[in-house]
Amino acid sequence: MTAETQMKTDPGGGPFRKRPRPGELAIRGFLFFCGVLSIATTIGIVYELGKESFLFFGDEEVSFVEFFTSTVWQPQVGGFGIWPLILGTLYISFIAMIVAIPIGLAAAIYLSEYASNRVRGFFKPVLEILVGIPTVVYGFFALTFMTPVLRSIFGTSVVDFFNVLSAGIVVGILIVPLISSLAEDALRAVPDSLRQAAYALGASKLEVSMRVVVPAALSGIAAGIVVAMSRAVGETMVVTLAAGASPRNFTLGQDPFFGYILNPFEGAQAMTGYVAITANGDLSYNTIDYNSIFAIGLTLFFMTLGLNSLSRRFVKRFQQVYE
């Protein structure tokens, strides 16, 4: 072996030896610290929620089975069924997704496939400005604009001042930029060779967009939708101001299903709305109302965790890798 060959193959000598880089080592250490800090913060939040929730379920007045099976939430009189709050949360989120998915996906397809670079550079930042608007502004927008519009269309005797439909529509408007931005990034990540191949086969612009690009970016689009749904589930101010402050208690088999339980024109209380309103009251530590906040928060945490886990499984199942 010649000296030149030994210099190239020996990692410990010659010009190919690893040189110390203190700056890179410091950056790696900082990134590691940030990762550990984020994990520790999550663990701390779960610990506090679990500790206070244990006090709630440890109370002799609270039944764990009743909490997850009863449909009456009235802690002041011993009603601890979480389903009215879950129903309000999911119903508002469902309406929001009906509003946000078509608008957000259509905007993403336009920006990715039809808009010029100049138009995209103007409209995408304008669309994302909606993310920076405080949610309390959206809440008052729902009260002062959306609710009067709904009452003028369907009648004041049909639509209550606080109603689920108004809150759901405005929450949908709130999460449109989130869906459009994530979906547009997924669409633009599709290789241009797929588009050119479809054009070579005689496909139109619409056919390429809907039958080639969208299916190829389906995993990223679906992940964005699930993230947006998690955002809708966790929204606080809009649902607190527009949907009302009273849980929609019901009895299965007695109350009409679409006339009351799923009536979008009546008010309902979401889980986040209950937490916000109850936390602003005069609460003492280790009381039923105080501890119920953490039990509901822990339930909401597991709901969003389930949605995020579903998103990851969906992405892994349908993800396509291009070279």
- CA dist 263 and 142 (Å) reads 18
pLDDT digits (tens, 9 = 90+) for 68-87: 888 999 887 888 899 999 99
Q: Which is nearest to 297 in space by CA: 318, 275, 264, 277?
A: 275
- pLDDT score recorded for residue 83: 93
| pLDDT mean over 7-20 | 57
pLDDT digits (tens, 9 = 90+) for 142-154: 999 999 999 999 9
Angle at 111 between CA 238 and CA 123, to 5 degrees: 60
| pLDDT mean over 165-192 | 91
| pLDDT mean over 29-58 | 90
| pLDDT mean over 161-176 | 94
- Cα distances from 139 to residues 133, 164, 174, 242, 296, in angstroms, run 11, 12, 10, 6, 22
Q: Which is nearest to 92 in space by CA: 171, 174, 175, 146?
A: 171
Contact assessment for residue 183 and residue 108, using Cβ atoms and an 8 Å cutoff: yes
What pTM was estimated for this model as a whole?
0.86
- CA dist 89 and 83 (Å) reads 10
The size of the chain, in residues, is 323
- CA dist 243 and 232 (Å) reads 14
Identity of the residue numbered 189: A
Question: Which region among 58-67, 197-206, 229-238 has the lowest average model confidence (pLDDT)?
Answer: 58-67
Domains of the chain: 91-285+307-318 (1.10.3720.10)
Contact assessment for residue 160 and residue 88, using Cβ atoms and an 8 Å cutoff: no
- Cα distances from 161 to residues 145, 250, 261, 267, 277, in angstroms, run 11, 20, 17, 8, 18
Helices (H), the chain: 3-9, 22-57, 64-69, 83-109, 117-132, 135-141, 147-154, 164-188, 192-200, 205-208, 214-216, 218-233, 237-242, 271-279, 288-318
